[in-house]
Structure 1
Amino acid sequence: MTTVLGYLIRRLGWAVVLFLIVTLYTYVLFFILPGNNQTVRRGFRTVQTPSSLRNDTAGDERLSLVHEYGTFVWRLVHGDLGNSRVTREPVTEMIARAAPVTGSLVLGGAVVWLLLAFPIGILSALRPRSLLDRAGMVFVLIGISAHPLWISLVLSYIFGFQLAFTPIGGYCSVFTATEACGGPVQWAYHLILPWIAFGVVFAAIYARMIRASIMETLDAEHVRTARAFGMSEWKILKSQVLRNALLPIVTMLGMDVGIAFSGAIFVERAFGLPGIGPLLFGSLARRDLPVILGIVVLVTTAILLFNLIVDLLYPLLDPRVRHIQTSTERAPRRARKERQPERAPATSP
């Protein structure tokens, strides 16, 4: 228990450090860009000079970078992301409207992604060089070669425009239902094509990884020993192969969270979903720093949190990692005990 708690504390400490580095880098990058923040904030067609803009608004003083970043961190600790410099709307409310759209896209796309990747990867690994394996590899090749934006445009043209099976774009909330739009049915109906476009690319990548990992595990010595003892192939697959084959997949899941967000941005642009993607593009075009930082905070927190969950799950899947962590914790204590001199026994006079 002490080992797990210490490991968790160390990981949380590194997560905080990485979070501060990412937000500081975003702040510095914004300030070294050419242009004037005051002019961009009020619009390029304003007739006021930057000096008059600084004088007529007391809250828009141009502070130093260190002071402004410190103020941002202080407000962030208190749950305040500030207001947009363009619309004056609270950043928290803007992100709260867009985050459920992106979350719905990523979660639904992940379901499609896993439902496609695991069957294709497992069946291809169990029947290598068969017709099923070749068909799966064709799917993998197409999925890896295609971009989510291109897949989105093709799906919307075929199923939305030509066949009119699904809407071409738009979003309906799952929580609010109206006569025209809303509710779980309309929510899923509008997101079917975005889910497929998002999930196909990642399904192709992970199907290839699952196939390679299972084929490597099937050639391991303990699997050959299990076959020699007469264990059935299904039992070997369930108890010996899948658990070991999942280890690199779990590692890649933690690393691909950021890539998943970038893929979701392109899908949102293609289908006109009012998610984080359009909000980010609009904020970058207007150099709306509070909104950009709010999105960076959201995405960075999601990535760090997901990687922390993966780090905690990994020792549960692989007992060897748990043994290494325990040995690492015990080694310093053992070394200190060995360095302590032994006391000589007391002698009676």
Structure 2
Amino acid sequence: MFAYVVKRLIAGFFVVILVSMSIFALFWYGPQEPARPLCNLETSQRCTPERLEVYTESMGYNNPIHSEYLKFMKGIVAGRDITIAGRTQECPAPCFGFSYATDRPVWGELKDRLPATISVAFGGAALYVILGVPIGIAAARRRGTLTDKALVSTFLVLSSVPYYLFALMLWLYVTIVWQVPGLSDTGYVPLSENPAKWAAGLLLPWLALGIFGSTQYTRFARGSMIEALSEDYIRTARAKGLPTRTVVYRHGLRAAMVPIVTIFGIDLGTLLVGTIFTERIFDIQGIGLWALLAVGDKDLPVVQATALFGAVVMIVCNLLVDLVYSALDPRVRLS
């Protein structure tokens, strides 16, 4: 087990390095000069070609790409000083640069927005499982009945609707049309500041993510349970006279949860990287909305940081999924 974890961590480290190199090269050789967001010749009268060249030189874009990449990676580990047009700023580790829009350290802004994204991600992911898996199990136990067909049809129709449209309609009806008390005021309030307002502001985003995301968990849980309940060891357990609840939940569900854990790990990692539509519709200042705005503003340090953060999160989530495999199913061996 320990050797497997070390091997996966080493592999993940090299994946992060490759991602960082790709992102750095993409901005370096992109169609637009990297210094252009700070000195735009088309929109700023104060910007001249000479001034743009000063920015380009001071930011190191006239230097070899490999030397600037090493400076960037060294800044993440040990920090560095960043000089732009004669102005030097200290950037402590982990240094991802300064945002072009706010002139603040990117790592500081990421830490400020991370709690909001974590709150949305874990709340929505919890509802994925709480709503989707029990309904899928109920449908599997009633396979072929009218209840099973009604559940499958309902969730199939719901999953065919684009998520952004579903979330937007839910917000419009709950907050404007129905004006449901306690759900109309959405947004993020720090948990340490006011737990009640924290939960109230995130309840509607959780419901939007949970209801929509639970549709696929219902289908996967149903399919996995049908397959698990048809196995020989399940028939043997029933032949021994074990209670139906024990057969279904202790023996069948444990085997059926393996593919569900795979989906959950990927979905949780995706949510932690940022729920762009959710954060935009429900006015939550999280990482996803921040990255989206940075792309529009061509705020390259922010885009680099969020892309690297996403790569690290996905690697960690996939490692955790593999470790949970061996606990759920003894037939799975890590090597």
Q: What TM-score comes out, normalization by structure 1 length?
A: 0.84
Please tell me whether residue 240 in structure 1 is matched to residue 251 in structure 2: yes
CA contact 1:109–1:196 (8 Å) conserved in 2: yes
Structure 2 unaligned residues grouped into runs of 5+: 79-93
2:327 is paired with a residue whose SS is helix
2:150 corresponds, among 117, 125, 135, to: 135
CA contact 2:117–2:274 (8 Å) conserved in 1: no
Offset, 1:307: 1.2
- The structure showing larger relative contact order (alpha-carbon pairs under 8 Å, at least 6 residues apart) is 1
Alignment of 1:1-349 (within 5 A): 4-43=1-40, 44-47=42-45, 48-55=47-54, 59-62=58-61, 63-78=63-78, 79-165=94-180, 166-167=183-184, 169-176=186-193, 183-261=194-272, 264-322=275-333, 325=335
Offset, 1:281: 1.5
Offset, 1:261: 4.9
Letter in 2 for 1:163: W
1:319 is paired with a residue whose SS is coil
Offset, 1:239: 2.5
Structure 1 unaligned residues grouped into runs of 5+: 177-182, 326-349
Letter in 2 for 1:38: A
Offset, 1:114: 1.3
1:256 is paired with a residue whose SS is helix
Offset, 1:80: 1.7
Offset, 1:262: 6.9
Instruction: Please provide the CA RMSD for this pair.
Output: 2.1
Tell me which protein shows more helix as a share of its residues: 1
Letter in 1 for 2:315: L
1:142–1:261: structure 2 CA closer, same or farther, 3 Å change rule?
Answer: farther
Instruction: Identify the residue that residue 342 of structure 1 maps to in structure 2.
Output: none
CA contact 2:274–2:289 (8 Å) conserved in 1: no
> Higher mean Cα deviation, 223-232 or 236-245?
223-232
1:151–1:225: structure 2 CA closer, same or farther, 3 Å change rule?
Answer: same
The share of aligned pairs that are identical, in percent, is 31
Q: What TM-score comes out, normalization by structure 2 length?
A: 0.87
2:331 is paired with a residue whose SS is helix
CA contact 1:127–1:133 (8 Å) conserved in 2: yes
**Bigger CA radius of gyration:** 1
Letter in 2 for 1:175: S
Cα distance between partner residues in 2 of 1:237 and 1:169: 39
